């Protein structure tokens, strides 16, 4: 119930204030909250858990990531992260893409329906057919991503300029070509789907992962406990999450 003098300032208040939306009562609200949690929190938290697990397994990647972050956001910075600064964090962007590729937080795409009949290769897809595609089949395809089950952010890194203009632009920043390194996305990486019907929360999810992971790796070092690597077995459900694992968390001396 919403007090008549209170202006609705969130989704639930607005929902309760709309009497037309209350025909199914709590059932509709439960579905609404479930959609918000699954789409807005569960997927992002699961991706962050996978990121920490992969960094535990790959300490050299973790250290390289920390060095890049500290250069952009040193110890005495104000602690606020500007999402547009990701352009200055090519290795970080590559690491996030590799997490999303290997983790496959949502193993299957949300179902879609064919609005008309069409041919797909040798197959005829009839109007009204429900369609889903497997992210795993795409992101773990060896012809697209060699050695697909290896965690390797270098897949999304380019270390040589492709034109003289690009080389000149790099030198203009006072850097030599030996240090050339830029992030380069792969169009075959589609963890949020494709086209007009892809996940509407993609940008929010990417910003959340950016802030969460950047803050964690900036301030802490994650490592295995008692030489026991974490179990990478997946828990199947709404999302493909890692099993609960134990990690040692140490404060970074160059931050605190």
Q: 67 has which bridge partners?
A: none
**Does residue 145 have a pLDDT over 90?**
yes
- CATH of the structural domain 19-251, one choice from 3.40.980.10, 1.10.3720.10, 1.10.630.10, 3.40.50.300: 1.10.630.10
User: Which one is predicted more confidently, 198 or 66?
Assistant: 66
Least confident of 30-34, 137-141, 223-227: 30-34
pTM of the model: 0.82
**Does residue 249 have a pLDDT over 60?**
yes
User: Which one is predicted more confidently, 24 or 215?
Assistant: 215
Question: pLDDT tens-digit profile of 50-99?
Answer: 999 999 999 999 999 999 999 888 776 666 788 888 888 999 999 999 99
According to the model, what pLDDT value does residue 199 have? 78
**Residues with Cβ within 8 Å of residue 199, at least 6 apart in sequence:** 39, 110, 192, 193, 205
Phi/psi of residue 242, nearest 5 degrees: -75, 155
Binding residues for heme: 199
Averaged pLDDT of the chain: 84
Binding residues: 199
Tokens found for residue 102: 């290997």
- The full DSSP string for the chain is ---TTSPP-SHHHHHHH-GGGGTTTHHHHHHHHHHHHIIIIIHHHHHHHHHHHHHHH-HHHHHHHHHHHHHHS-TTS-SPPPGGGGGG-HHHHHHHHHHHHHH-SSSBPPPEE-SS-EEETTEEEPTT-EE--BHHHHHT-TTTSSSTTS--GGGGEE-S-SSHHHHHHHHHTT--GGG--EE---TT--TT--STTS-TTHHHHHHHHHHHHHHHHHHEEEE-BTTBPPP-PEEPSSS-EEPP---EEEE-TTT-
What average pLDDT does the segment 171-197 reach?
A: 83
Question: pLDDT tens-digit profile of 207-235?
Answer: 889 989 999 999 999 999 887 788 888 88
Tokens found for residue 42: 């569960």
According to the model, what pLDDT value does residue 13 have? 73
According to the model, what pLDDT value does residue 171 have? 83
């Amino acid at each position: 119930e919403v007090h008549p003098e209170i202006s609705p300032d969130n989704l639930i208040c607005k929902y309760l204030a709309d009497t037309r939306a209350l025909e199914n009562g709590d059932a509709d609200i439960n579905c609404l909250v479930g959609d918000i949690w699954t789409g807005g929190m569960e997927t992002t938290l699961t991706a962050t858990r996978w990121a920490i697990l992969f960094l535990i397994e790959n300490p050299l990647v973790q250290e390289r990531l920390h060095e890049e972050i500290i250069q952009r956001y040193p110890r005495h910075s104000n602690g606020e992260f500007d999402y547009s600064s990701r352009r200055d964090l090519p290795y970080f962007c590559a690491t996030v893409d590799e997490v999303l590729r290997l983790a496959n937080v949502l193993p299957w795409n949300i179902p879609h329906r064919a609005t008309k009949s069409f041919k797909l290769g040798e197959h005829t897809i009839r109007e009204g057919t429900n369609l889903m595609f497997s992210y795993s089949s795409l992101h773990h395809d060896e012809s697209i991503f060699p050695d697909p089950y290896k965690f390797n952010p270098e897949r999304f890194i380019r270390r040589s300029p492709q034109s003289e203009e690009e080389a000149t632009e790099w030198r203009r920043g006072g850097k030599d070509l030996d240090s050339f390194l830029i992030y380069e996305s792969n169009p075959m990486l589609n963890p949020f789907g494709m086209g007009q019907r892809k996940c509407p929360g993609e940008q929010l999810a990417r910003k959340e992962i950016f802030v969460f992971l950047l803050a964690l790796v900036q301030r802490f070092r994650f490592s295995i406990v008692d030489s026991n690597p974490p179990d990478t077995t997946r828990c199947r459900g709404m999302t493909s999450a890692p099993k609960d694992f134990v990690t040692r968390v140490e404060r970074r001396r160059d931050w605190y």
